[in-house]
Amino acid sequence: MITDELSNYYADFLDGSYNCVDRVVLNAYFGMGHSPAGFRSWWRQLHNGSEEELDNMHLMRMAGRFSRRVRGYAKAHGIPVIECSSEERKHKIAEEHLKNNPPRGLFLILVGRAMAIRWEVKRSSRGVIRNLEAKRVFINHYSFHIMDGEWGHITLKMSGHPPFATQIILNGHEYVACQSQKAGIPFTKEGNCFTVIPEPAQLAEVADTLSESRTIGRLSQVCEAWIYSACLCFGLDLEEQQRSGFRYQYSVYQVEYSRNLIFRRGGQMEEIVQGLIDRTRTRLGVKQLKTIFGMKTRPYRQRNGKAPRLEVVVERPQYDLTIFKLHFGKLTLKVYTKGERVLRIEVMVHNAKELRCGRVLERFPTILTRLQQILGQFLNNVYAMDAALISDGTLDELPHPSQVGKTRVGGIDVNKPRTRQVLNAALSMACSPDGFTARQFAATVQSMRRPTDPNYDARRAAYDLKKLRGKKLLAKPAGSRRYSIPPDAIRTIGALVILRDKVLRPILAGVGNPTMGCKPKNWSPVDEHYEAIRQDMFVLFQDLRIAA
């Protein structure tokens, strides 16, 4: 179901679309194990009320026992255990093993070092515990790769030292693929994307189930099914888990949510995406654009005749992959192509704390709702920026003073360099999910190339923002210090920037040269329009007796 203006605008070029939860990372933690008093209490339960063996040597022995049990079990069951360096991409190693269609259960263990808590005990000369300190150090982590019947490939990355902190990594596309396969819904899935969907509405219904409150139970169920019996059992056997009362709690750490637009023709999608990026990249302040070149060009015709595959295809990119990425703190917004005909717009929260709506697993639907709002707002703002519009009287009205509350503020003169930098900075901040402050706005202006005022600070930014508010180009909720830009205002600001930088300036510069030099190799349709306008404007200036 399409709910944003950008997707609606290109709806005639689409075969379908679907929204889906992508990567989900949960933190599993034992609450008592993260405080000195709680850890000592748990240790006494594990050792029948005794603390005699609570020392660094026995804690290291527990970690060593974890390692020996893992390797012994893997050797007995033919499961590969691979030591990984920090430079190795562990998901690439897992992808190679996934090609063999592993059976349900544990099929791969990767070992690598990462930061985690390790308790250190200090005793007095008489053996009394003086201090119990949790230090963050590099220790071995064991990534258990498991094939689950409901969620497909999942990974549990567990620390080898108590309290055995764990990260559970799942993928919503894997879940949707498993459920669609059971329901008999045909699809072709290449990597982490559905590329051919004969019945997109049915698959979208399955994908939407991940946004329901019942997903809390599904996530908890898959975690409980594997974390104790397939992972923690190497550090604490089932009897020790029950005796000590070791139970995990779960919180949301990272979530990715995407909107996937399936175009009818790959070549058509390529033209639309490249045009969209070219028109909005500078306005959004994107400094770098990453392009991974593939082996083929996308086809300009519909490819029929092949039945959808109910399988996963893992391969290197066959087509050019352009990644358009924006960062806002711990939030990232991405626009990129997947496979032959899919355009993906994705929002990723690197730490759910950034959303300020809770992190416990029970808040998962609330986190998804917030990500959906951010994604819809981003697409609406990108569409407004791409479809710039200015009304007839706006240019005449801008230079006049305006009123903000009881304060009279000056007008906006787009001929001043500082004003143009303010407008450009406003466009680059327009997609910020939670708006922006005057201090953040001042930092954005200062980060622009050749700032007009090296002393531009939050006070000057607040004055310029008040002028934009006077012209209804900016919104500030009552009682808040954060600003936001409505979509209509984005269109107006975009048009003001385009008119001067992309229309008036190049045309006036070109009219001063009656003859054109050598035609460049990369001659685009826009260049042809500029040349035609330049010739016509040269004739018009002659008729009006204007010296260019």
Q: Tell me the pLDDT tens digit for each residue of 68-97.
A: 999 999 999 999 999 999 888 888 899 899
In a domain, 345, yes or no: yes
What is the per-residue pLDDT for 278?
Answer: 75
In a domain, 119, yes or no: yes
> In sequence order, what are the beta bridge partners of 77?
none
Flag the least confident range among 67-76, 183-192, 319-328, 381-390. Answer: 319-328
What is the per-residue pLDDT for 283?
Answer: 67
291 pLDDT above the threshold of 60 = no
In a domain, 427, yes or no: yes
Residue-number span of the structural domain to which 358 is assigned? 5-16+257-386
Listed residue (305, 180, 163, 326) closest to 245, CA to CA: 163
For β-strands 194-196 and 188-190, DSSP reports them as: antiparallel
Confidence of residue 66 (pLDDT cuts 50, 70, 90): very high
| Phi, psi torsion values for 402, nearest 5 degrees | -140, 175
Same domain flag for 103 and 176 = yes
Compute the average pLDDT of residues 20-45. Answer: 95
153 pLDDT above the threshold of 60 = yes
User: In this predicted model, which residue has the larger pLDDT, 320 or 176?
Assistant: 176
- Please write the tens of the pLDDT for every residue from 447-458: 876 767 788 999
Cis status, amide bond into 486, omega within 30 of 0: no
In a domain, 201, yes or no: yes
| Phi, psi torsion values for 400, nearest 5 degrees | -80, 150
Task: Specify whether the CB–CB gap between 420 and 445 falls below 8 A.
Answer: no
Same domain flag for 139 and 246 = yes
Flag the least confident range among 314-328, 450-464, 467-481. Answer: 314-328
pTM of the model: 0.83
In a domain, 548, yes or no: no
User: In this predicted model, which residue has the larger pLDDT, 325 or 377?
Assistant: 377
Compute the average pLDDT of residues 159-164. Answer: 95
Compute the average pLDDT of residues 9-13. Answer: 88
Compute the average pLDDT of residues 127-139. Answer: 93
146 pLDDT above the threshold of 90 = yes
What is the per-residue pLDDT for 447?
Answer: 83
149 pLDDT above the threshold of 70 = yes
What is the per-residue pLDDT for 285?
Answer: 64
The Cα–Cα gap between 360 and 358 comes to: 6
In a domain, 309, yes or no: yes
Terminal alpha carbon distance of the chain = 53
What is the per-residue pLDDT for 514?
Answer: 64
Q: Which two tokens stand for residue 93?
A: 């190693």
The Cα–Cα gap between 420 and 461 comes to: 13
Q: Of all residues in the chain, what percent are helix, strand and coil, respectively (each to 5)?
A: 45, 25, 30
What is the per-residue pLDDT for 317?
Answer: 46
Rg of the chain's alpha carbons, rounded to an integer? 29
What is the per-residue pLDDT for 494?
Answer: 85
What is the per-residue pLDDT for 548?
Answer: 54
Among the candidates 230, 253, 276, a domain finishes at 253
Among the candidates 386, 407, 427, a domain finishes at 386
Compute the average pLDDT of residues 455-479. Answer: 90
In a domain, 452, yes or no: yes
Q: Which two tokens stand for residue 548?
A: 């260019």
Same domain flag for 76 and 160 = yes
- Provide the mean pLDDT of the chain: 86
Task: Specify whether the CB–CB gap between 75 and 289 falls below 8 A.
Answer: no
The Cα–Cα gap between 39 and 136 comes to: 16
Task: Specify whether the CB–CB gap between 118 and 139 falls below 8 A.
Answer: yes
Confidence of residue 323 (pLDDT cuts 50, 70, 90): confident
Confidence of residue 61 (pLDDT cuts 50, 70, 90): very high
Same domain flag for 97 and 241 = yes
The Cα–Cα gap between 86 and 110 comes to: 12
Say whether 372 sits in a helix, a strand or coil.
Answer: helix
Give how many domains the chain has, as a whole number: 4
The winner for highest mean pLDDT among 242-246, 337-341, 477-481 is 242-246
Same domain flag for 220 and 71 = yes
DSSP states along 225-283: HHIIIIIGGGTS-HHHHHHHT---EEEEEEEEEEEEEEES-HHHHHHHHHHHHHHHHHH
Among the candidates 367, 386, 405, a domain finishes at 386
Task: Specify whether the CB–CB gap between 476 and 483 falls below 8 A.
Answer: yes
In a domain, 158, yes or no: yes
Task: Specify whether the CB–CB gap between 235 and 160 falls below 8 A.
Answer: yes
Confidence of residue 299 (pLDDT cuts 50, 70, 90): low
Q: Which two tokens stand for residue 195?
A: 């590329």
Confidence of residue 119 (pLDDT cuts 50, 70, 90): very high
Q: Which two tokens stand for residue 412?
A: 């906006």
What is the per-residue pLDDT for 502?
Answer: 74
The Cα–Cα gap between 313 and 196 comes to: 13
Same domain flag for 68 and 213 = yes
Share of the chain above pLDDT 90, in %: 48
- Please write the tens of the pLDDT for every residue from 29-39: 999 999 999 99
Same domain flag for 289 and 327 = yes
Counted residue by residue, the chain has a size of 548
Cis status, amide bond into 163, omega within 30 of 0: yes
Same domain flag for 230 and 268 = no
Share of the chain above pLDDT 70, in %: 90
Residue 415 identity (one-letter amino acid): N
Confidence of residue 433 (pLDDT cuts 50, 70, 90): confident
Burial of 52 (0-12, 13-18, 19+ CB in 10 A): exposed
Same domain flag for 248 and 103 = yes
Task: Specify whether the CB–CB gap between 158 and 117 falls below 8 A.
Answer: no
Task: Specify whether the CB–CB gap between 110 and 65 falls below 8 A.
Answer: no
315 pLDDT above the threshold of 80 = no
The Cα–Cα gap between 349 and 433 comes to: 11
What is the per-residue pLDDT for 264?
Answer: 87
CATH number at residue 477: 1.10.10
Task: Specify whether the CB–CB gap between 78 and 86 falls below 8 A.
Answer: no
Same domain flag for 42 and 186 = yes
Q: Which two tokens stand for residue 321?
A: 């992959």
Nearest-5° Cα angle at 90, 162 to 115 = 35
The Cα–Cα gap between 461 and 476 comes to: 14
Cβ within 8 Å of residue 10, ≥6 positions away: 261, 272
314 pLDDT above the threshold of 50 = no
The Cα–Cα gap between 466 and 252 comes to: 38
What is the per-residue pLDDT for 182?
Answer: 92
Same domain flag for 411 and 381 = no
Q: Which two tokens stand for residue 378?
A: 């981003």
Q: Which two tokens stand for residue 402?
A: 């305006």
Q: Which two tokens stand for residue 81?
A: 């255990």
Same domain flag for 285 and 247 = no
